[in-house]
Amino acid sequence: MPASAPLQNPTAHVVQSFLKHQYEICLYSKDMPYALQATIIDLNSETGFLVLEVECHGESFNSYVRDGMINFDIETLHPLDGSAKNSALTRDIHSVSNIPAKVVRIDSSAYRLECQLPSSVFLLEQRGAVRIPFILGMRAKVSVEVYVGGLIVVGNLRNISVGGCLVDVAIEDTVPIAVGQPLPGVTIEFPNGASFFAEGIVRHMRPFGNHGYAALGVEYINLEPHQAEELFYIVNEAEREAAYRSGTNDRVVGHSPLFIPGAVEKSAIQREEKEQKKRLRQSPMQRGILELAHQLQYSLMYIKSRDHFPEKVIYDCADAILYLLRKDRKALLYALAFLHNEPDWVRQAVRVAAQMADIMLIRDPHSIQVREAVVGALLHTMGKPLLVSEELPTLKTNMSPRHKEILKNHVVTLRDKLHSLGWRPSKVCEDIILHANELLDGTGYPFNIKGSQLTENILLVSVVKAVNKLIYGRNGVRPLTPLNAYRLISEAPQCYDKATLVEYIQCYGLYPIGNLAKFSGGFLAWIIDVDGKGMPIKVNVVKNLAFIDTNIDSVLEQGDFSQIGRLEGVVDPNDYGVRFYKV
């Protein structure tokens, strides 16, 4: 009797499905605030033998290999309809944990990991329950109720067991969530319209992949008998679906009813396809800036949930800004526009840090203060999300006077938190953290210092902050054009240094790079470059207002501006439906 063909390793089959698309794979550790990028060198789909290569400088590599085991996330963006051309993109991610790995050191900073993938996609938890991963396109939405009758965070289900589940949420939505926090409600909605509700508690939280998401490990609590019965049914059906999709059980011949899309789910998929098709292509510089913004948010997560200050991550962010400025200043200024949909505190931190560094380097290319000043600017607004609580449940809504008063404590809150973590900033860094909100006439906060008590760095950062605050709408106040923002600041010479404002205007002009301009032909275009007088000479045309639902992606030089008409001014992207989409 001939020997039967060896069975394909199911986990390798799942990993291999990611390799059909452009993928990213990273090692993670619960003790480290950042992941290590890796590359797949070899994968045997029959045996599950996997070889990775990874670079890691310093001694931190040992933190990613514990007791001969590693954990990794593999992530991809792939077409929703299966074709590679003209299709919307969706994000898929899979985690594999506790994999045996043999470490071979290649050189001082490069390692090869020879790994054995598990023979089953189902994992046995410490409590004895089987955890079912959502693989190969399995979908379910999750709504997490953070406060009773209050804030709801929406995410995707990534695995489930009778004990709990793993929820994939946007990193900015983790601000009000802490490890150990009870959750009044966790609702899972399946494609066919069925749903499951239970109370929960957050058991762990970590960065998830490379695109600004986090994983929440939720344990169910206070289950009633009927809920436990529903949960057993759901887990069994999820196991059946995963077995069918991975081909591990030839007795399963069709989809579970839970995963057959109903009318609501089909409509949601259509909306997702439509929105993702509008997603703008991102340059490496733009992706770098977004990654930097995500690293700040991951740092906040570790400060809040682990009581750990990730000094290396923060300084890496500062060094990245300085490197990008020196590499291609105008490309960086343009990339800052792509922070538009990031949380206010993150967007302001990165923009202010970058523009402050830009002006400081123009003043003195060899400034010895600029790195510490950038770190201070990146940290300055982090006290705001630290204040989020049941009393201040979110930073996204219009603030009441009471909420605004609470927020004025963000500087002292951050200072006290950093001190409690044992981190002491340098003098330059601390000056920015503590005094960036102070004004010349002493009406700033929190210490009401004024005049000659303010350093040159504070005179600069106060102007940069004021401009950035005014050109973005908040608390129901519409954003101003750069010209009107300059005018408003100029009319308050008692608060802001006039010479610094003039310097800022000379640096960025009336039509700054990264703003959306409107042309008389009815076209909207992002300003990519300006001349010595601050007039646009290169733009990216993204919309023709005669066809409002159609997007364009066409770069024009000054000589071709006659195609789109004369420049009329800077406009608010939100007024015209120009949006940035997060995958």
Full DSSP string of 155-197: EEEEEE-SSEEEEEEEGGGGTT--TT-EEEEEEEE-TTS-EEE
Portion of the chain with pLDDT greater than 70, in percent:
92
- What pLDDT was estimated at residue 99? 93
In contact, 216 and 202? CB cutoff 8 Å? yes
Count of beta carbons in the 10 Å neighbourhood of residue 576: 15
In this prediction, residue 86 has a pLDDT band, given cuts at 50, 70 and 90, of very low
Residue bearing the bigger pLDDT, 61 or 42: 42
Phi-psi region of 67 (alpha: psi -120 to 50; beta: other; left: phi over 0): left
In this prediction, residue 283 has a pLDDT band, given cuts at 50, 70 and 90, of confident
- What pLDDT was estimated at residue 7? 53
In this prediction, residue 250 has a pLDDT band, given cuts at 50, 70 and 90, of confident
The region of weakest confidence among 78-92, 278-292, 331-345, 472-486 is: 78-92
- What pLDDT was estimated at residue 127? 61
In contact, 259 and 280? CB cutoff 8 Å? no
Burial zone of 397 (CB within 10 Å; 0-12 exposed, 13-18 middle, 19+ buried): exposed
Nearest of 448, 567, 10 to residue 250 by alpha carbon: 10
- What pLDDT was estimated at residue 353? 98
* Mean pLDDT in residue range 122-148: 85
The region of weakest confidence among 53-62, 86-95, 208-217, 298-307 is: 86-95
Report the alpha-carbon distance of residue 218 to residue 166 in Å, rounded.
6
- How does pLDDT run across 111-127, given as a tens digit for each residue? 999 999 998 888 776 66
Which pair of structure tokens corresponds to residue 231?
Answer: 């949960």
- The H or E element that residue 419 is part of is helix 410-420
Between the alpha carbon of residue 62 and those of residues 28, 95, 105, 501, the distances in Å are: 12, 20, 12, 49
- How does pLDDT run across 162-219, given as a tens digit for each residue? 999 999 999 999 999 999 999 999 999 999 889 999 999 999 999 998 788 999 999 9
- What pLDDT was estimated at residue 245? 87
Which pair of structure tokens corresponds to residue 262?
Answer: 């109903």
In this prediction, residue 88 has a pLDDT band, given cuts at 50, 70 and 90, of very low
Report the alpha-carbon distance of residue 404 to residue 410 in Å, rounded.
10
Nearest of 427, 570, 433, 444 to residue 497 by alpha carbon: 444
Which pair of structure tokens corresponds to residue 514?
Answer: 């990264």
Mean pLDDT of the chain: 88
- How does pLDDT run across 324-347, given as a tens digit for each residue? 999 999 999 999 998 988 899 999
- How does pLDDT run across 543-579, given as a tens digit for each residue? 999 888 788 889 999 999 999 999 999 999 988 888 7
pLDDT at 58 over 90: no
In this prediction, residue 280 has a pLDDT band, given cuts at 50, 70 and 90, of very low
- What pLDDT was estimated at residue 581? 60
pLDDT at 26 over 60: yes
The region of weakest confidence among 2-6, 34-38, 389-393, 542-546 is: 2-6
The region of weakest confidence among 357-361, 391-395, 459-463 is: 391-395
- What pLDDT was estimated at residue 403? 87
Residue count (the chain): 583
The region of weakest confidence among 63-77, 105-119, 125-139, 336-350 is: 125-139
- What pLDDT was estimated at residue 1? 32
Q: Which amino acid is at 322?
A: L
- How does pLDDT run across 1-23, given as a tens digit for each residue? 334 344 578 899 899 989 988 88
Count of beta carbons in the 10 Å neighbourhood of residue 452: 7
- How does pLDDT run across 397-444, given as a tens digit for each residue? 778 888 888 999 999 999 999 999 999 999 999 999 999 999 999 999
Q: Helix or strand or coil: residue 406?
A: helix
